[in-house]
Structure 1
Amino acid sequence: MKITWNVITTFLFLVQEVFGSDCGESDHEFQKIGRILHPKSNGGFLLTTTAINVDCASQCWRKEQCWSYYHNPHDQACFLASRYQTAVPDTSFTDTSSNYFDLYRKPGGYSTCKELQLANPSATDGDYWLYPTASHVHYNIVKMYCYAMGTSSPREFITLPTPNRGEYPNETYQKCLTHVYSLTGCPGSQGVYIYSKIEIDPTTMNVNRATRAFMTGSGKSRDYAWVGDCYTELDNNYTCGPKGTFTINTSGTGLIVDPALTWKRAGYKSKVVMTKSDGDAVINLICGGYPGSCAPLYQMKLYISTANYVNPASATWMT
């Protein structure tokens, strides 16, 4: 009998399942073999077994958490994938895309709100599970808010469980000498702007930062993730700022902002301070000058984060 790589990995996985540690659902440690992720316990892939293709599909179909599966016809290896890690072909060894099957495409699996609307004309605005076609998300399921479903041009948004807040403070501390609570040098620039949803393009997962359909606040409104102030000029002599703030928080969305994205400075003697937490789901920005501002250096793109949990019941699955 010819021993294939999949036979070996299947055997190792089964040994681990029999003799491994606790299989609690909260454990999400993974061991990477090729581009197929095998969990040390029930987390990413639900189970490993051997079965003919139709049996493998049947097992996936019966499990609520199973969205796609891998089946190798040579050794009958069957891996059932959860929504947090779609089965993706690995071209580093003899593997082909024909071994990968996406049950989420049957009977539903819409990529855009327009597709969902055409198939379900009575669908209203709300959070739905969609499959964006952006190549870097590998057709993973994403929770998206379909907006304007009563029109001919519905749009896709990401609902932010924690509203993202920015503030251009109404205060000045020019040259760190006289602190006043007004913007004598930048009148009318102050404002608080809060986003509860952000618009995205499902074909690229790019954020439309200028869309303010779900922005609230007071004073002057700003684009998403823009930050600035008119507090003081900042250099080696003056270090009492900046004071402008914006917090990006995508916790609970299953997504994070491109980890490589940086912010560019503009204005007079400006400065930016950026800190991250919660697996890059939270980005705290402080920026300003006299006046000074900061904005993303290039197009803001969202990526899948398996560590960023999304409640499966928080959106609707349409067929």
Structure 2
Amino acid sequence: MIRMTTFFVFLFISFRGLHLKTVSLGFRLIKTKLDFVEPAMTIWSGNSSDLMRCGVECAKEQYCVSLLYDKTTGSCKLFSVVFDSDESGNIDYWILNQESTRWVPKSCQELASCSGITTDGEYWIYPTATNGRRTKIYCHKLAFAPLHYVTLKYPNRFIQHDKSNLINGLECLSDFKGPLNSLDFSKVRIQIENMEVIGSDYAFASLNGSPTIQYGQALDCNGQAFRHPCPHFGNATIDVRETGLALDPTMVFGLITSYSAEIRDFTRSDDGTRISFSCAGWCAICGPTPGPIRFQRSKEFISVADGQAVVCNR
């Protein structure tokens, strides 16, 4: 096993015999888990000459930022992404140092600036707020003022039962005057600097009626919470499975505005990817208190193929 923690590769590239460009790549050894890199990937086991050879191959490849050595085939595995690292992992895995001439973008703005890409889509970003861990982000309006979104794979629906749904102005009825205002999000916007959700952005939301609530909220006006029986129709479903993200476990959900109200039937999955609840009041808004919702990186493995990798050069 290699005992060094860093190594550098300097490669001189000629252009038409007229100029020379120096590519400086410094590699740092980290530990990661086998399934964070690639299924069935062989654990690094080689000598220093093998490692240096891999570094030279990486330097020649324009978009290489990390590498492994495959013992069974004697070949180098080069990657255009930095996989999730874990100090308790069991694989020796090499990624670029900060001193290298190549780097990976921390935001959609950096991605657009360093690459000139103007096509919106799913990209691998390495935000400071996730400790530089690989995060799949939908970059929107790349040609103008890039915005950051998370693409949702499962229904994220938020329902508002307000006074317009009352029949003859009466509370605690088992029926309502439809339709209920609702929001269905296919993507949710975030602030990349802190992974906070901008719940009032409806660019990728389907609106039924004219809801006034935001992502993560529910509203109910069917009756005072202490009255029984009294059905309530405002509810919320947050589901970020298969995004590589989870909900910050320190977030508290409760009453945002209320009159004789309470949050009910609150559930949070063990892995932090799902939250659901209903709201009871006359009238009441339930949701994160204080908001906004915050995401954090989960331990879920997301395939490299799910996003486009972009490597920047100084």
Tell me whether the two structures share a fold, i.e. TM-score over 0.5: yes
User: What is the distance in 2 between the residues matched to 1:44 and 1:85?
Assistant: 16
User: What is the distance in 2 between the residues matched to 1:68 and 1:239?
Assistant: 61
User: What is the distance in 2 between the residues matched to 1:191 and 1:303?
Assistant: 29
Partner of residue 54, structure 1: 52
Instruction: Give identity over the alignment, percent.
Output: 23
Partner of residue 177, structure 2: 182
Give me the CA root mean square deviation. Answer: 4.0
Partner of residue 154, structure 1: 146
Task: Please point out which of 216, 235, 242 is paired with 1:252.
Answer: 242
State the SS of the aligned residue for 1:242.
coil
State the SS of the aligned residue for 2:156.
strand
Query: Are positions 1:303 and 2:303 aligned together?
Result: no
> Any residues of structure 2 matched to 1:44-193 within 5 Å, and which?
47-49=43-45, 51-52=47-48, 54=52, 85-88=84-87, 101-102=95-96, 107-134=102-129, 137-151=130-144, 153-169=145-161, 170=165, 176=172, 178-182=173-177, 190-193=180-183
AA matched with 1:315: G
Question: 1:126 Cα deviation (Å)?
Answer: 0.9
State the SS of the aligned residue for 2:153.
strand
**Contact kept? 1:162, 1:251, Cα under 8 Å:** yes
Task: Please point out which of 185, 193, 212 is paired with 1:203.
Answer: 193
> Any residues of structure 2 matched to 1:204-219 within 5 Å, and which?
204-219=194-209
Residues 306/157 of structure 1: CA separation in 2 closer, same or farther (3 Å cut):
same
Residues 223/165 of structure 1: CA separation in 2 closer, same or farther (3 Å cut):
same
User: What is the distance in 2 between the residues matched to 1:61 and 1:47?
Assistant: 22
Q: Which runs of 5+ in 2 are unaligned?
A: 4-29, 69-77
User: What is the distance in 2 between the residues matched to 1:44 and 1:303?
Assistant: 27
AA matched with 2:105: Y
* Residue-pair matches, total: 259
User: What is the distance in 2 between the residues matched to 1:89 and 1:49?
Assistant: 18
AA matched with 2:248: D
Question: 1:255 Cα deviation (Å)?
Answer: 0.1
**Contact kept? 1:111, 1:132, Cα under 8 Å:** yes
AA matched with 1:167: I
Question: 1:238 Cα deviation (Å)?
Answer: 2.3
State the SS of the aligned residue for 2:309.
coil
User: What is the distance in 1 between the residues matched to 2:197 and 2:88?
Assistant: 28
State the SS of the aligned residue for 1:47.
coil
User: What is the distance in 2 between the residues matched to 1:286 and 1:46?
Assistant: 48
Question: 1:123 Cα deviation (Å)?
Answer: 2.7
**Contact kept? 2:148, 2:190, Cα under 8 Å:** yes
Partner of residue 22, structure 2: none
State the SS of the aligned residue for 1:225.
coil
> Any residues of structure 2 matched to 1:272-283 within 5 Å, and which?
272=263, 273-277=265-269, 279-283=271-275
User: What is the distance in 1 between the residues matched to 2:35 and 2:203?
Assistant: 43
AA matched with 1:223: Q
Question: 1:256 Cα deviation (Å)?
Answer: 0.7
Question: 1:200 Cα deviation (Å)?
Answer: 1.3
TM-score normalised by the chain length of structure 1: 0.67
**Contact kept? 1:88, 1:138, Cα under 8 Å:** no
> Any residues of structure 2 matched to 1:10-21 within 5 Å, and which?
none
Question: 1:174 Cα deviation (Å)?
Answer: 5.7
Residues 106/313 of structure 1: CA separation in 2 closer, same or farther (3 Å cut):
farther
AA matched with 1:233: Q
Greater length-normalized contact order (CA 8 Å, ≥ 6 residues apart):
2
User: What is the distance in 1 between the residues matched to 2:88 and 2:276?
Assistant: 36
Question: 1:38 Cα deviation (Å)?
Answer: 5.0
TM-score normalised by the chain length of structure 2: 0.68
Partner of residue 231, structure 1: 222
